[in-house]
Copies of this chain bind each other. A is one copy, B any other.
Amino acid sequence: MFSVIMAGGSGTRFWPASRERLPKQFLKITSDKTMFEETLERVRRFSSDDCVYTVVGSVHEELVLRISSLDSRQVLVEPIGRNTAACIGLAAIHLARRDPDQPMVVLPADHYVSDIDDFVRTIQSAADAASSGGIVTLGITPTRPETGYGYIRIAGQAESEPGARPGNAYRMDRFVEKPDHATAIAYLADGRHLWNSGIFVFTPRTILAEIDSHLPSLASGLREIDSSLGRDDYGAVLARVYERLDPISIDYGIMERTTTPVLVLKCDFGWSDVGSWQALYELRAGECDDRANLLLANAQAIDSQRNLVYSVSDRLVALLGVEDLMVIDTPDALLVARLDRSQDVKLVYTKLKESHGREV
């Protein structure tokens, strides 16, 4: 099957390690490889090398070619970010030229999976269901009342679908925005809400037909791009079309509007979108020292506990008598914050950008 790694996102929650030019998917935070490389390794478990594609912003094309063994044909470049519907549509017209009926998995480049074998089996089930024209998405069994994720509300089970293992396949009811804390607790209790993983499987033919039906302006733009494929003016057409596209997500642009039943596979493969420094700390808790310090750096912690230290350099970081902090060390900026203020790192980023008139 095809894999399409969406690597266009630009995050600020990992500032100062992440910047506009170096978003989270290109950081080595979950291991000594970038999250993009980790994702690439995962998809190669079910897609042959030449069936792996990625969609990136132009600023990251060179980086991706350098850290992956993808050739330039496999790296689709968006001139500007226009959210996931456009990203997936662009990939679909490229893949449709090769085989419109071969399932394509689309997935973000910056997610973490602990049980990769289970992940691979799930994607293979999803591809089975998608190959006959279905739309499949992966919903993650929630393990806490998380307010940082969107949710998928499920309706009845759908075990008769091809690819559905007993007990894990549901019809989608609808996508739900990030809830407040009380609502998240209710979601966790009712068993009808799964975390929205942002992972989808369908054929190029299916998703392009859906775009035709529900996003006519995107569909017309994609037809223009499609007709320029292989021509010298491809880049110019792409830029012109993207310029006028409205940003809209695949969730709301297609999934919420489609009349085709959407199959939700309920998953438990240890998934995280690693949305903050604190999420990273929790994810890698097993690597902490005996006083719960996660030292992803040349660091020495003295009389200190429950701290996260992350450095992109070999610079020595010494902690003395401190608790519950994160120390994020980069060549041009240093962040020292309470770890439980992870969600506010974005605020620091914005504040600094405002006061400096540019990203810092």
Q: Is A321 an interface residue (CB 8 A)?
A: yes
The listed residue (B16, B327, B332, B340) touching A336 by CB distance below 8 A is B327
Distance (whole angstroms) from the CB of A345 to the closest CB of chain B: 7
> In the complex, what residue of chain B is closest to A339 when comparing beta carbons?
B321
- Identity of the chain B residue whose Cβ is nearest the Cβ of A300 in the assembled complex: B352
Among A310-360, those with CB < 8 Å from B are 315-322, 325, 327, 329, 331-338, 340-341, 344-345, 347-348, 351-352, 355, 360
A322 to B348, CA, bound (A): 13
| Complex alpha-carbon distance, A318 and B344, angstroms | 12
Knowing A336-B327, A351-B300, say if A360 contacts B316 (CB, 8 Å).
yes
Residues in B whose Cβ lies below 8 Å from that of A315: 331-334
**How far is it, in angstroms, between the C-alpha of A130 and the C-alpha of B258 when the chains are bound?**
98
Please state if B302 and A321 are interface contacts (CB–CB under 8 Å): no
Chain A: residues with Cβ within 8 Å of the partner, total of: 33
- Is A325 within 8 A of B336, CB to CB? yes
Query: What is the chain B residue whose CB lies nearest that of A326?
Result: B320
A211 to chain B, nearest CB (A): 42
Q: Please state if A333 and B319 are interface contacts (CB–CB under 8 Å).
A: no
Interface residues in A1-47 by Cβ distance below 8 A to B read: 16
A residues with CB within 8 A of B: 16, 300, 302-303, 315-322, 325, 327, 329, 331-338, 340-341, 344-345, 347-348, 351-352, 355, 360
Query: Do residues A320 and B302 form an inter-chain contact, with CB atoms below 8 A?
Result: no
Residue of B316, B321, B347 near A344 (CB, 8 A) is B321
A316 vs B335: C-alpha distance when bound (angstroms): 8
Q: Is the CB of A334 within 8 A of B341?
A: no
Do residues A302 and B348 form an inter-chain contact, with CB atoms below 8 A?
yes
Contact of A325 among B316, B317, B322, B340 (CB under 8 A): B322
Bound together, the chains give a CA A338 to CA B304 distance in angstroms of 10
Q: B316 contacts A347, CB within 8 Å? A: no
B333 near A318: Cβ-Cβ < 8 Å: yes
Residues of B within 8 A of A319 (CB): 336-337
Cβ contact within 8 Å between A318 and B335:
yes
What is the CA–CA distance of A334 and B312 in the complex, to the nearest angstrom?
13
